[in-house]
């Protein structure tokens, strides 16, 4: 089991580029695999989660060649996937499992999705239920959990679906299933979520319509291969945004970061707290907005996090909780029950860790209340959650004593090379095996 040891102090400086966006990396493999022709992908995230997606499509008889972060996919076409000879192991990735479930639900062959112990404990009923209403035949463990057995079908039927909870994974799952359905599938969101799937589908020549009434997609469309450049992941950049905000005399620029407006909740929340953030050289890359992000140290203050920003920052809350612990005053979050069913119960695990380090943090049913104060240091458990481990590493910048973080193996699922890049930027983190 990998342990991080983080020494107190340090400041951030220079220019760095974090790895490619995980959400976009997953989708790039999925869509290029069912497109006609050869797609070239650059900036692909070389983390375990996204590599598992490549392996899954290789088992589905798609030819994929990879050289570091450059990937060449020879698409099989909409109906060219083949029955896998083995279970498709999605490791730790809820995104990959939910999106592939939508795609596989429309195939004529049987398949089976599995994952690690963490993924096997996460609820899949939120996608199984609407897929079954489309005619999919899916068998799961009690509580709608993996392993998931998908039976072949001769076709799905379109649905008009109101999502009870805002979730880009559910939306994307149903859009992929909608490609194999008769008619037009419409998905209604209770709040905006990341729109990478819609943007990329359009890039592959697919007609997807979005307006106030929902997102719709017609079945039986063909996708055409295209070249994609994947921006740096804003969820990974968030650790350095918070780090530079809380460490005295810090001034860092994060290069080529995706700033899709459905993902910039972390920037908006930090700015409400008083962070000094500038977006430089904004541009468009493969249908996604990109910019360099400069962050300088600033005194943060506690806030009540606006409800409309919650789904736009759902993956960044662990490190935002660290920002709250270093802010003056009280920060309150509500409307974020989704955090309890991530790779860990991120509300409870972060609250427990902050309390262990001397911070007043009170877990709530759908959020948390954090009183800013002095971080004492100590030992915390990440519970195998990559974002928890990296968040507590950032906390060391303002700690009085060392912070020891247990169970950090899964950092490689989303951020390979995190420790080396963090050290280069100025965070005093090291690995103790």
- pLDDT digits 0-9 by tens, 147-198: 999 999 999 999 999 999 889 999 999 999 999 999 999 999 998 999 999 9
Q: How far apart are CA 146 and CA 94, in angstroms?
A: 10
- pLDDT digits 0-9 by tens, 84-128: 999 999 999 999 999 999 999 999 999 999 999 999 998 899 999
pTM of the model: 0.94
DSSP string, 351-404: HHHHHHTT-EEEEETTEEEEE---B--EEEE-TT-HHHHHHHHHHGGGBSS-EE
Do 7 and 70 belong to one domain? no
- Output the CA torsion sign for 364, 368, 369, 372: positive
- Last residue in a domain, options 208, 229, 250: 229
**Are the beta carbons of 74 and 63 closer than 8 angstroms?**
yes
CATH of the domain at 75: 3.65.10.10
What's the CA angle centered on 250, arms 249 and 254, to 5 degrees?
165
Do 80 and 61 belong to one domain? yes
Do 190 and 147 belong to one domain? yes
Question: Is 89 labeled as catalytic in the residue annotation?
Answer: no
Number of domains in the chain: 2
- Compute the mean pLDDT over every residue in the chain, rounded to the nearest whole number: 96
| Catalytic choice (315, 381, 385, 407) | 315
What is the model's pLDDT at position 415?
95
- pLDDT digits 0-9 by tens, 352-397: 999 999 999 999 999 999 999 999 999 999 999 999 999 999 999 9
Rounded-to-10 torsion of CA 58, 32, 235, 121: -40
Q: How far apart are CA 6 and CA 353, in angstroms?
A: 14
- Last residue in a domain, options 164, 197, 229: 229
Phi-psi region of 213 (alpha: psi -120 to 50; beta: other; left: phi over 0): alpha
pLDDT over 80 (residue 305): yes
Domain, as residue range, for 211: 22-229
């Amino acid at each position: 089991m990998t342990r991080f040891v983080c020494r107190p102090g340090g400041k951030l400086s220079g220019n760095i580029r974090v790895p490619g966006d995980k959400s976009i990396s997953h989708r790039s493999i999925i869509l290029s695999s069912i497109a006609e022709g050869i797609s070239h992908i650059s900036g692909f995230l070389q983390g375990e989660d996204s590599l598992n997606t490549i392996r899954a499509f290789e088992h589905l008889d798609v030819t994929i060649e990879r050289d570091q972060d450059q990937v060449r996919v020879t698409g099989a076409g909409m109906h060219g996937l083949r029955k896998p000879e083995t279970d498709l192991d999605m490791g730790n990735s809820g995104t990959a499992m939910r999106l592939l479930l939508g795609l596989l639900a429309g195939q004529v062959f049987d398949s089976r999705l599995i994952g690690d112990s963490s993924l096997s404990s996460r609820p899949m009923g939120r996608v199984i239920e609407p897929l079954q209403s489309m005619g999919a035949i899916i068998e799961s463990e009690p509580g709608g959990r993996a392993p998931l057995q998908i039976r072949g079908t001769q076709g799905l039927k379109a649905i008009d679906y109101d999502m009870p909870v805002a979730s880009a994974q559910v939306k994307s799952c149903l859009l992929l299933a909608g490609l194999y359905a008769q008619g037009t599938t419409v998905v209604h969101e209770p709040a905006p979520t990341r729109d990478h799937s819609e943007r990329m589908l359009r890039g592959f020549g697919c007609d997807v319509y979005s307006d106030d009434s929902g997102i719709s997609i017609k079945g039986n469309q063909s996708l055409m291969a295209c070249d994609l450049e994947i921006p740096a992941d804003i969820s990974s950049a968030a650790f350095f945004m918070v780090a530079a905000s809380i460490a005295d005399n810090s001034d860092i620029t994060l290069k080529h970061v995706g700033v899709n407006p459905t993902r910039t909740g972390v920037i908006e929340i930090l700015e409400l707290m008083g962070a000094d953030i500038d977006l430089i050289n904004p541009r468009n890359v493969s249908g996604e907005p990109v910019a360099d992000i400069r962050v300088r140290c600033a005194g943060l203050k506690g806030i009540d996090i606006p409800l409309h920003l919650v789904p736009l920052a759902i993956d960044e809350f662990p490190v935002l909780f660290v920002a709250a612990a270093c802010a003056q005053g009280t920060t309150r979050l509500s409307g974020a029950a989704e955090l309890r069913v991530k790779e860990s119960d991120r509300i409870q695990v972060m609250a427990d860790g902050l309390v262990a380090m001397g911070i007043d943090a009170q877990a709530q049913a759908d959020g948390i209340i954090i009183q800013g104060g002095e971080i004492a240091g100590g030992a915390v458990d990440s519970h195998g959650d990559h974002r928890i481990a990296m968040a507590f590493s950032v906390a060391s910048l303002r700690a009085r004593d060392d912070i020891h973080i247990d169970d950090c193996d899964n950092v490689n699922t989303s951020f390979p090379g995190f420790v080396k890049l963090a050290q280069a930027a100025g965070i005093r983190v090291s690995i103790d095996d």
